[in-house]
Amino acid sequence: MDKTVLITGASSGIGLHTARLFQTKNWKVAATMRQPENAEELQRIVDVECFRLDVTDVDSIRTAIAETIEKFGRIDAVVNNAGYGLLGPFEASSDEQVRRQFETNVFGTMNVCREIIPYFRERKGGYIVNVASMGGRTVFPFSSVYNATKWAIEGFTESLQYELDPFNIRLKLIEPGPINTDFYGRSQEVARKSGLSSYDHYVSRFISFMNKAGGEAPDGSIVAQAIYDAVTDGSRKLRYPVNTKGLLFLRGILPSSAYRLVTKTIFLR
């Protein structure tokens, strides 16, 4: 029987590549996004259906799940991919910016999980794939709020796997490093505060480095492959790092003082 995957944030980047890949593997794909009417490419692909889903709107999540089941008859995997990056000095960030970052990256993921878990529990199986970041196990300068959301997703997912294991619901964490996506463009937000210029020199160097790294990085297809592997490899493996360039390995073996020097050298040189 054909299997179905529901993907959030499927309009571009990692989500779009994931939708394409699963379709080529003979999966039915529910590609969800806030504005499905703009997803012209996906609408032309057989076995891909575009649904409206805003991870901050619980009613839209419930509707998208129900419409997917009505269209395809089942859901076998959910990929929580929707998110964006807030960068810049924490001092410059507004309360609204911080809350919106958490509403999307953390509470949005939790909203989708809360709505799909009862369905998977009743079916006695399913996959929940949460796209975190290498920034969920290490940190970057001027990314304190973004890092906080990804560390939250790591802890949430690792703990949740114990609750859901008796129901054969498997949790997976995808941890991308630099990937050439809208994270470095349309989906990037930089916190700024009028009259605050003390950080400008350092932020400029950091943003330049990040954008250069993103521009030279592989596209989202390598993350899509990791997501597909996570859903189909039959293992209970939790974490799937992608293009982390050895930083997670160094984080694990270096003393904190040495790793701090590595981080400053890489991101603020």
Give 21's pLDDT tier (boundaries 50, 70, 90): very high
pLDDT value of residue 186: 63
- The candidate with the shortest Cα–Cα distance to 198, out of 117, 91, 98, is 91
- By residue range, what is the domain housing residue 170? 4-267
Determine if residue 89 is left, alpha or beta; phi over 0 gives left, psi from -120 to 50 gives alpha, anything else beta.
Answer: beta
Contact 173, 239 (CB under 8 A): yes
- The model's pLDDT over 192-230, given as tens digits with 9 standing for 90+, comes to 999 999 999 999 999 988 888 888 899 999 999 999 999
Contact 206, 214 (CB under 8 A): no
According to DSSP, the β-strands at 188-190 and 239-242 are unpaired
Six-digit token string for 108: 């949005």
- The model's pLDDT over 249-269, given as tens digits with 9 standing for 90+, comes to 998 999 999 999 988 888 887
The CATH number of residue 137's host domain is: 3.40.50.720
Determine the 3-state secondary structure of 239 from DSSP: strand
DSSP conformational letter for 57: -
Is there a catalytic annotation at residue 259?
A: no
Q: Identify which has the larger pLDDT, 149 or 208.
A: 149
Q: What's the structural domain count of the chain?
A: 1
Which residue do the tokens 């890489």 mark? 266
In this model, does residue 57 exceed pLDDT 80? yes
Alpha-carbon distance values, 19 to 1, 6, 10, 26, 28 (Å): 19, 9, 7, 11, 9
pLDDT value of residue 14: 97
In the sheet that holds 126-131, the strands lie side by side as 48-52, 28-33, 4-7, 77-80, 126-131, 169-176, 239-242
Burial of residue 70 (CB within 10 Å: 0-12, 13-18, 19+) is exposed
Give 105's pLDDT tier (boundaries 50, 70, 90): very high
**Cα separation of 262 and 93, whole Å?**
26
Mean pLDDT of 56-79: 98
Which candidate in 146, 184, 199, 240 is catalytic?
Answer: 146
